[in-house]
Structure formats: C-alpha cells, structure tokens
Structure 1
C-alpha cells in the first residue's frame, strides 16, 4: 500500500500555483536605475512571485522578485523598455522603474532581453534550456518566463499594477534515498524522458498579450530534460532534497515518463505514468522516496557508475605519513587556545571536472595508500594496474590518473595531492635530559627541554624538500628551548645542535641551527626579509656587512605533531661558513697556548638580558656587552682587558654632554668599522626596529686581523618592526591601554628612531643595565659629527638601490608562504580581541598588522617598506640627521 500511495501522488499538482525564474543578467547601480514610470509586479493568483527559491514555512513554494530583476515593457509608442526592480530585498511585489515615452504601459514580460530590441510584443524571443542547473544553497533557477498586463489605471501613488503569469510549468522534485544504495552518495542530476515527439524546451517566440507560445525547430532529444545539482548534496539518512526545473506544459495524463537519478556511484532508473495534464502557471511535485520503488530496492533499476564518491588517506594505512594528531584553535571561556585533536583520515575534495585534490600541509612522503569508495562491481586502475581501496599504494608526488570503469561507462579522475609547497622538518625528541628541566608545551601536550638543559645527542632530525626528496636523513642532534621573551609565547622556538655538521636546504653545513616560531609576526616573514636586506648590503654584494644569517620557512613536525610554519635559520656563530673570524679557542688558543688577545676574534652581543658568563657594562653609557663565546675572563685577564678596552674606547671617545671632556670622533673612528656600522644602521632604521635603543640583540664583533669593532650580524626582527600606526593605535585602544612603547604617528614615521635618544645621569656606579634608557648604542653621538654624516650620505648612494630590490623578495617570500599561512594561522591565532589576559604579561609592542588577513598584512609590509625607504632617502639626501 505504501508503494501504491506514492504512485498515486506522482505528478499530481501541488497546492501552490507558482513558477520560478532565473536571476536577471542586467544589473544596474542605484545611480543608473531611474525612470518616470513605476510598475508593481505581482502574481495573478496569490501575489507571490519571485526569481529565486526560499521557504515561507509552509508546504507551498514561495516565489519572490529578487533585487535588480528586470522586465521588458511595451507602451503605445515604446518597445522593449528596460525596467529594473528597485527593491533591495526579495519581495512578493516588485517595484520596477523605467522610462516610457508619454504613454501608459500595456504589456510586460520577464526576463528582459536585449535580443528583443525592436521586436513587437506579439513575437518576443525566448529559450527554455533542456539542461538546467540548481543549487540548494542559493535556490537560483533557469528558464522561467512570465508575461504581465495592467489590472487598472495608475494607482494613487502613480504606479501601475501588473499581474504576471508563467508561460511554463514548474516541477518540484523531493528525493529521499534513505535505506537504498544511494544513501550517503552525492546527488548529481535527475533526467526526465518524455514520450517521443514532445518538446520540453528549446527556442520559441511568445505573445505578451495572449501568452501564446510558438516553438521553433525542435533540438535533438527535445523530449529529455536534465536538472543538475551544482552543489552535489550528499544523500544523508532521513533527509529530503528538493530541486526545481521549468518545463513546457506538454505532459499529458497517461504519459509514460522515464525518471533517471544519477549519483556519483549509481544510475537509478524507473518509469512512471502521469496522472494529470500539465498546465502553464502551475507547480507540480514529484515525490521520489526511493525506498518505495522496487526497481531501486531489488537492484534491477540500478547500474553502477564509473564514479568515485570519496577519496581519502586513512592514518591506519599510512603510518608515520598521515599524522594522527593535529593542532586546532579552540574558543574557551577565557579566550582562544590551541589544543591537540585526534585525526583518523585526510579527506580529499572531488570536483565537478573529475578532479580529486587536497592539501596535506605537512606531507613529506608521497607514497600513500588511498581509501576510495566506488559502487560494487566497478573496476579501478592506474596505468592498467588494478587498484584496491586501502591496499594499493601510489606515489602522489605528481598527479595520478585513476580510471574507473563500469559496464556502461569509463571515467578518468586526476588525483592531485599537495603540501604547502614548503620543506618539511621532522624532529623526534628522546626522553633523555640532563642539567635542566622539562617544560610543558601546553598547546601541544608535549614535554620539551628548558633552555638551560645540557645538549643531548639522541634526538633526530630529518629535512625533506617540498617535493618529498630527502635533504637531511635522520641525523642525530639535540633539541631544547631558545629565546628570552619568545619562549613564553604559545608557539615555542627551538635551538638545534647537531652531533655532526650537516648542511640544510642549501645552507652550508654546521652544527648549530634554530627554529624560529615567529609567533608575534603576522607575516611570518619579518626576520627573513631583514636577513635579505642585510644580504643586499654584504661585502660579497658590494656592501659593508660581513655575514648575516640565512633561513627558510618550513613546516615543522615535532614528535608526530604538525606545529606549523617555522623559520629554519643559521644560528649566529663564528665559523668559516658563517661569521668568518678567528674563534678565540678553536682557531687560536687550542693550537697556540701562547696566543695574545689580538690574535683572536670575538663575537659580542649587546643585550639588556645580560645573561652570558663573560659580560661587562661600558664605562660611560653602561651598555650591556657580552661575549657569545667564552674566553679566559677572570679579573686581570689580558683577553678581558683587550675586549673591555676596545669597547670602552668608543664609549669614552663619544662623550655625551653630561660627561666631562670633548668628544673625539677620530679616536672612535679608529676603533669602529664605520662602514659596517652605517649599513647595519640602515637595516635597523629601515625596518624601524627600535630594540637597539635599550639595547637587545645587537651583535658586533672584533676581528683579530685588524682589531676593528664591526657591526653585525643582524638578528631578532619578529615583532615591533614594519609598523602600521593605524593598526597599532586601534589594537592599543581595544586592549584598553598603550601597548606601543614607541609613539607611532605621522611624525614618528618621518624621522629617525634614534632621534628619541636620552642619557640618564643616574648611571654613576650602576652594575646592571638600565632597561628604561634610550642610548640607541652610539648612533646619536656619531650623528653629531660631520665626518660620520658625510660617510652616511656617501654610503647611501650605494646601499639605496640594493635595498630597493627587497620589495620583490617580500612578494616572492609571501607567495611561497601563502598556503602555509592558512594552516598556521588556524593553529596559532594571534589577536582576535579575546587573548587580552594571556598577552598582557609579556607583550609590550605590536606591529599593527596582528588582526589583518594575510593579504592585508603583506600589503601593509610592502607599503611600509617602500614609504620608509623613500623617507630615509629624503632624510639622508637632505642631510636631515
């Protein structure tokens, strides 16, 4: 009885007598749409007419006009005049406005067409597509034509009321696949095959006064109509899917109609008899509960299709390649945090054009076993070799073509699997620890070694190029935390010490490397861009800096968890392939115990963390100076005296006004390598890295060959740099206070950072760095001397064109990291207005791009760089120091 009830309902008219129409192709702006005549368009039966689908909460189909719908209007002396709906929302009555030549409107039709220019209202042209497309999310339809005539003279407000009727029938499909082979499959199309000789669509002419339709020459298969679901909805259990198609009213009672439903896996076919004659201006419902049809349940009407309905990589079948844990950002009561989530599979997207694609951001081994879903009896091959779901592996480093064959058809699918396009670094940390403590990395659930831990030798690192080829093959190393304030951020930075030297990603071999998290850097590129600025000014490029670190953005997998985008970079070290000076111990003292201090090279860092073993405060400015490599440093040591005398010699020669005596620039210039100081200063001022004011991460070195105190390498530009003042001020206001220690406004962007310097008279007898001072190293004092300013102007002529080239590098780096950003930012959200409590303990400054999209942040960086470069060019050229 259930089946009989369904049959009785088949092709009976629905209660709603409304037809849909497709959205107009004519869209005019508010300033363009004007007129002297208004037509109120409504439906003849119930004043419900529209051009896209929606629901009014009843079983009826509600129909409304859409904004910018257009109609063609005829008057006594006007032909095919464009009228456009002025309503801004979908509405039951359209307010159409246009120009008529001093006559009342007589006839109207929808949709307006330029093709009917000059045509009489009795012979308008149209085309009813035999293949129509429908998307459940938008409800847009094709092929609806309406004609309207006025129902009265002008109304009180001067508008003419037109009742519109539809020329054709509307068919509403209601598909439910629960309990059938199609359940869970993706719906592609439904096809209606009418009796031979019937014309369901094609080109036609119509009369706007009589609604008479005259069909043109019938196209091939004019009795076959297709409705394609562009969104391919999945036929889930218990759900019903509606679709709509416009059809010529040519179906008659007793017609045998073949219904074909195509899903990705099956072709389901059955035949039913129409119980009523179709009429224009009516909607007919076709209930298709597939479990009620014997042809579907017994399989006689089912044909397996050559289709793949799902394609994925399961963790269980791809151990060590597809990760079972991922980081996700979760919104909690007190803000956003990051946590781990179990993963069982990576699912690829199946496209309309038989493409299957997906990005697995960390993928480094492309030899994978896919799991795919096809109909029973369908054969799947690659290059003629049969493929078994969940069993047969393929190399997906290049697109792979899967050929799917059923008894009636064959289809090729091109499967493309990508990563973010970045190299992948895999580190595996052992359980050993000595001399330090384990720290909990809360966001990942991992235990990691503290910065003060001894170096283990039983961790391992592998590096893969983006194409999956091996760059570093499972080399022994040690891993531990690095950084100062940055190690307190959610995304942790790491230091690496190789057991044996290794080259990485075209960077020369060495033992010491770093993985910079760049968490406070929305672009993830600031350090790398500044490295590139410095490279442009290196000696081998005609500049005055000796060596600066290189780095590559990579995807990092830490103990089986993908933790995002990191910068794998060279750590600043004395070495023939890095800062090429004589290492005091390794190059000199070990081989010659009688060596004198002038034989050695010394790497210095000026940093108010002041946490190295060998350290001192300079005599006048009390700059915190530290040696990065230990040397004999006991009191009275000749090595200690040599370094202190060298640095203090500058301090004493460049006396600020609060000290007695006159400044002696020649004495300072005899100690300082002025050209390297100038190029180093260009880099910091260009990036507006104000951290050299206290100072932090200011590296200098003494090369034993000539004893000069040289500037470089550059380091630590991940935040407070490349500022966007509007963004900084906006975030500062949002957080309820000033988070920018530098006052960024139009004035600050047009002057030197070091013009903010100050010298504190409280320095007498101090033993620790004064964190609130602003000496900006020796630059404000150097800039008081004409000799130094002249050297700056001369050197700028060489440096400026080299720095202009960096804009292209910023864009290139951005493209390289574009895909990675979408995954990294999803794991490590920066600022969204909900991290106040978490950020306030350790965030001092912002760069102003923290809430921008990726494109906005990159554009902000480029704009800042170009503006700052030209500002500096003007300042230097004009001698404004």
Structure 2
C-alpha cells in the first residue's frame, strides 16, 4: 500500500482530473492574508487568537477564504528569531492550495534556513522514496494585519487524520522521540515518558488524551520494539518494525547530516493495531546541512564541511560520529540489516542529484522574487541564490563522500 501524501490533483466540473494544472501550481508562490481579531499581536504559542484567512493562488480553484485561530509554534524558532512560525486552526476543514482537507496547518518561517529549501529537499526525497505520510510544501507570502511578514512554507500539521497520518482514530499510535516534548523538558505533561531500554524521551501525539492504562500499554509496546532492536535479531525485529522505512529514514538523516538524531528531536514513529511500527513522518531539517551551532542564536551559517557524520564510519560503535541512542544504531550488529542498508543506498545514490535535487530546485525557480522581498523584510546577510548553489555543491560532495563511508560500514556480527 502506498502510504505517501500524494500531490493533490484538481477535479473539474466534469469530474476529470486536471493533473497538469495542479502539478504546475505546486511550485507557484501563493499569498495568504491573515487578520487577527482587533488586530491583536500573536504573542503566545499556547493561546490561540481568532483570525480570518484569505488564500490567493494563480490557480483560482485553490483560492480560499475562511475563519479560524492562530498561535505561535516551534521551539528555538519561536524563541530565538524575529521572523516567527505559526500554527493555524481553521474553524472548518478545508483544502488549502490543493492539499487534503483539514483544520490544522503550519506556516514555517524558514528564518534560519537561507535557502528556504532544506525541509523541501527532504520532503521531496521522502516522497520519491515512497516513505509514509511525507509532508507537502507550498510556498506563500504572508501578510499579517496588513504587514508583509515574508516568504513562508505552508505544510501539514503532523497528526492523525485521513490526509495526514492515516492510522486508526481509535487504536492507532503516533509517537515523537523529542527532548522538548519529553519528561525532562516538559515534566508537567502526562503523555510522555522515558523509554525503558534506551532512555529516550517519548511523547504520545495520538491518541490526544491518554489514560494511565493506555500509557502503560504504549510503554510496554515500545519496550518490546527497543528490546528487539537491542538484541539485533533480524527476524524478531522484522516482526515488529518496518525495516525498509527505518533504512530510508536513517539514510536521509545521514545524507543531510541531521544531528537532531542525537537528542533526539523531531523523530516520529507510528503504528496501527496489529501492525508494525513504522518510522515517520519526516520533520524539521534546518538543523542539518552542517549547521553552525556556534551561531545558533543568529542562524544562517551552513555547508562548511561535507565530511561530518552523524552515525560515523562504524554506526554501531559511533566511530567518528555522534553518540546517538542505540535505537538508531544497534541494528548495525545484524549482517542482514547492514547488507540491506548498503543495497538501498546503492539504489538511490545516483538519483539524489540527478532526480531529487532538480525536483527540489523547481521550487526555487518560482520563489526567487519572493525570496528577494523576504530578504528585504528580514535581512540576514545571505544571498538566497548563492546559498542554494552552496547547498547543491554540498550535497554533491556529500553523496560522493557517503559512497565511500556507507560501502565500508562493518558488515555486522549477528
């Protein structure tokens, strides 16, 4: 079964799909005008403010006007940077810019990312690999209470839903492995816990309300998965875990040098009743691409070296990499897993710059003028086109480097 978010095709009055029109408009920059009640400022990421929302697109069928609520969102992106990200909750479900109907939408500010392409690239790779429930991106220029606030990425909120993570509403599970939502940094919450084997911070994203009995069952199921991974018995793991999704997930983390694996932060997994745990959806990659954490409060500095590694040259022993939770590396004990990991890399390596990068760059060709206006509104001392070229060169070098690294991973011991 294909679990990927599909790019929505338009339907005309005769019921025929207008796929070419929809495909062309995926890359176009739309506009969103947001007006809050009494022009109130958005000062909280906990409290919603009533608002009206108007979306205008070159594709008239995608125009939208409605009401809802808006609040801030994010962690470091909300706290540190002047250009703020937002979450919008519409009063009625709606399709926005051709995406599946829902109330919940996210506006990513991309303030730290001077290319405006980092999440888009990863989502594009994920879609091409047919990973589960990969988000879509639509670029929009946003006006808030009459004030132009720049170029944003509109995307889906990660949550259970027909057009989101389509697990069973009653019995499905969606978890995040995330230090910010976990018991250490959010001790007041009742839906998080430390995993018993790898001591990872886990937060239950679905169900929304978790009883004590449900939480205990989730802890038990998570412990079963962790134990199987720690033992690196491939047959045992395969019964509980969608291994191909995990391989793709980890290849992407290393490809873009996403050090958030170490915390961990923004790592999702899900399952339905009587089905396997599956990694995804993919989320939040502006801490990758060799981000300079020494300038994290101002951001924007990337691409210094393509030779840094998350998993190292020997993932099992973290040689030359980060000490990430064994949940992400203990399967490298398995000879079968290592062989499948290498085979998958060989199958996709040539496509990364030949196919996935051009599909990503198509967005940049369309948002170039909007990026110039964004830079005037939020000057960061970086040229968007130059940074995109640096990103392309970094990825080219990265793929070539990883060819040697991955092909020389130790073969495993089990």
Secondary structure of the equivalent of 1:646? helix
8 Å CA contact 1:810–1:862 kept in 2: the answer is no
1:800 deviates by 3.4
Q: Distance in 2 between matches of 1:664 and 1:529?
A: 34
Does 2:35 correspond to 1:428?
yes
The reply to whether residue 629 of structure 1 matches residue 206 of structure 2 is: yes
2:63 paired residue number: 472
TM-score, with structure 2 as normaliser: 0.81
Q: Structure 2 matches for 1:789-800, cutoff 5 A?
A: 789-800=338-349
Distance 1:463 1:743 in 2: 35
Question: Residue 481 of structure 1 is aligned with which of 59, 72, 82?
Answer: 72
Tell me the residue number matched to 2:217: 642
Provide closer, same or farther for how the CA distance between residues 744 and 858 of structure 1 changes in structure 2, counting only shifts above 3 A. closer
Structure 2 counterpart SS, 1:452: coil
2:266 maps to which of 676, 694, 697: 697
CA distance in 2, matches of 1:798, 1:819: 36
Task: Say which of 553, 568, 591 aligns to 2:154.
Answer: 568
Shift of 1:500: 0.9
**C-alpha distance 750-703 of structure 1, shift in aligned 2 (>3 A):** closer
Given that 1:650 and 1:667 are in contact with CA atoms closer than 8 Å, whether structure 2 keeps it comes out as no
The answer to whether residue 387 in structure 2 is matched with residue 875 in structure 1 is no
For residue 614 of structure 1, what is the aligned residue in structure 2? 191
Higher helix share: 2
Q: Which residue of 2 aligns with 1:716?
A: 284
Matched, 1:452 2:46: yes
How big is each residue's C-alpha offset from its partner over 1:177-197, in whole Å with a ceiling of 9 and x where there is no partner? Answer: xxxxxxxxxxxxxxxxxxxxx
> How much does 1:796 deviate?
2.8
Q: 1:757 to 1:569 in 2, by over 3 A?
A: farther
Alignment of 1:488-527 (within 5 A): 488=79, 489-527=81-119
1:710 Cα deviation (Å)?
Answer: 0.6
Residue in 2 aligned with 1:18? none
Secondary structure at the aligned position of 1:554 is classed as strand
Q: How far apart, in 1, do the equivalents of 2:259 and 2:139 lie?
A: 25
Q: Say whether the 8 Å CA contact 1:757–1:775 is kept in structure 2.
A: no
Q: Indicate conservation of the 8 Å contact 1:614/1:630, yes or no.
A: no
Residue 95 of structure 2: SS of its match in structure 1?
A: strand
* Bigger-Rg structure (1/2): 1
Q: Is the 8 A contact 1:608 1:624 kept in 2?
A: yes
Q: Does structure 2 conserve the Cα–Cα contact (< 8 Å) formed by 1:575 and 1:581?
A: yes
1:203-237 CA distance string (max 9 Å, x none): xxxxxxxxxxxxxxxxxxxxxxxxxxxxxxxxxxx
Q: Give 1:716 shift.
A: 0.5
Contact 2:307 2:398 in 1 (8 A): no
What residue is the counterpart of 1:651 in the other structure?
A: 226
Name which of 246, 268, 273 aligns with 1:677.
246
CA RMSD across the alignment: 3.1
Aligned-pair CA distance for 1:802: 4.4
| 1:491–1:828 CA contact under 8 A, matched in 2 | yes
Cα distance change of structure 1 residues 550 and 632 upon mapping to structure 2, 3 Å threshold: closer
CA distance in 1, matches of 2:85, 2:285: 14
Deviations 1:638-682 (A, max 9, x none): x22332112111323344xxxxxx654443332221111011111
Deviation at 1:631, TM superposition (A): 5.6
Q: Could you list the per-position Cα deviations for residues 750-784 of structure 1 after superposition, in whole angstroms to 9, with x for gaps in the alignment? A: 974884977xxxxxxxxxxxxxx932452221112
Instruction: Measure the CA separation in 2 of the matches of 1:430 and 1:631.
Output: 28
Alpha-carbon distance between aligned partners in 1 of 2:58 and 2:335, rounded to the nearest angstrom: 52
* Paired position in structure 2 for 1:56: none
**1:666–1:878 CA distance, 2 compared to 1 (3 A):** same
* Residue of structure 1 equivalent to 2:173: 602
Whole-angstrom CA distance in 2 between matches of 1:746 and 1:630: 40
For residues 15-56 of structure 1, the C-alpha deviation after alignment (integer angstroms, 9 at most, x for no partner) is: xxxxxxxxxxxxxxxxxxxxxxxxxxxxxxxxxxxxxxxxxx
Aligned residue pairs: how many?
372
Distance 1:567 1:745, change over 3 A: closer
TM (norm. structure 1) is 0.39
Q: Which has the higher relative contact order, 1 or 2, with Cα contacts under 8 A spaced 6 or more apart? A: 2
- Partner Cα separation in structure 1 for residue 277 and residue 313 of structure 2: 23
1:263-302, Cα deviation, whole Å (9 max, x unpaired): xxxxxxxxxxxxxxxxxxxxxxxxxxxxxxxxxxxxxxxx
What secondary structure does 1:683 align onto? helix
**Residue number in structure 2 paired with 1:409:** none
**Counterpart secondary structure, 1:504:** coil
Aligned counterparts of 1:577 and 1:525: Cα–Cα separation in 2: 23
Describe how 1:375-386 pairs up with structure 2 within 5 A: none
Larger strand proportion of the pair: 1
Could you tell me how far apart the structure 2 residues matched to 1:689 and 1:750 are? 7
Q: In the aligned structure 2, how far is the partner of 1:577 from the partner of 1:421? A: 22
Cα separation, partners in 2 of 1:522 and 1:743, compared to 1, 3 Å: closer
Tell me, in whole angstroms, the C-alpha distance in 1 between the residues paired with 2:225 and 2:77.
32
Structure 2: gaps spanning 5 or more residues: 1-26
Structure 1 residue runs without a partner (length 5+): 1-419, 433-445, 539-544, 585-599, 656-661, 759-772, 833-851
Partner residue of 1:668?
237
